[in-house]
Amino acid sequence: MSQEVVDLYAPLVEGRPLPNLRLEEGDVINIPKLSGEDLPGYDRTLISNSTFASRQPVQVTVIGQVARPGFYVVQTGRVGEALLVAGGSLNSANLKQIGIRRNFSDGSVTQEVVDLYSPLTEGLALPNIRLEEGDVVTIPKLSEADLASYDRRLVATSNVSKPTIQVRLLSYAAGGATTLTLPSGSTFRDALNGVPLDAAKLNSIALIRYDTATGKAVTQEIRGKDALVGLPAADVPLQDNDVVVIGRNLVSKITYTLNIFTQPFRDVLGFLLFFDSLSNSASGLFQPDGRR
């Protein structure tokens, strides 16, 4: 029995012909698995783009700032598709530092960082990184330090983000509490489109947002008329699960209730349930008293 080792990697890298080795009846071809020791200097992207690469679906784990973290089968094995099958990235996601964690059979572990943000801003193709079976894809949260140089509105309108967001609208003019489904990248002005402007008092509007760091509701007062004309300071980008309260009297009632509710919310679901229960049970909350 004879055994021969054939190198197909070097010809791909150097651009020369493949070895001209003829197979015979009964030959057995064994393709070894890549180990952690082989990784330095090994161009996996080159292999994934070659005719040798298998296009079989892979099962990966997607966690972090995506709409639906979990286990998914990715048909193409691309990072962008992994985000899409997990519901898309959230507004709080940092696409500059997507982590890909890979375990090898010899016990070694590698961590690779992929930048999807720069190609989006520069109009380039996404990195052609192929995922492998068992990879863990982590979408980190955007830090305060990165906010100034990060265009979240551009990312929100891309094809790797969650396609829609839900915003709760509380207003006498709108008839109480409603839930708006808006495209990702929508701004404050888009939320006001469903409000009868002749009946609403737009000088006093509050944007209430859940702060995951503190578990508190953060309130920002906005002049609706400035938002309608597109002033950047007022026409702010909306995020999933934002709450918009319209009318001076209603804003005062909601703000007062939040001030006496001193315990942090356990999570964003508790934050939303607070507003749902408030609109359903508070007697007279949506009964206008002439001081909207």
Structure tokens at 192: 């006001």
Tens digit of pLDDT at every position of the chain (292 positions)? 678 888 888 887 888 888 888 887 878 888 777 776 666 777 767 776 666 666 678 999 999 999 999 999 998 888 999 999 999 999 889 999 999 999 988 888 999 999 999 999 998 888 878 898 999 999 999 988 888 889 988 898 888 999 999 999 888 766 678 889 999 989 888 888 867 665 556 778 899 999 887 888 999 988 888 888 888 888 888 999 999 998 888 888 888 888 887 678 888 889 888 888 776 654 455 555 544 4
Structure tokens at 88: 């898309």
pLDDT of residue 95: 95
CA 243 – CA 167 distance, rounded (Å): 6
CA 42 – CA 23 distance, rounded (Å): 27
Structural domains in the chain, sorted by start: 58-156 (3.10.560.10), 164-281 (3.10.560.10)
Q: Which residues contact 5 (CB under 8 A, 6 or more apart)?
A: none
Q: What angle do CA 273, 274, 275 make, to 5 degrees?
A: 90
Give the 3-state secondary structure of residue 51: coil
For 270, phi then psi, to 5°, come to -65, -40
Q: In angstroms, how far is the first alpha carbon of the chain from the final one?
A: 91
pLDDT of residue 292: 46
Q: What distances in angstroms separate CA 55 from CA 58, 103, 262, one per listed residue?
A: 9, 20, 54
pLDDT of residue 42: 77
Structure tokens at 95: 């696409």
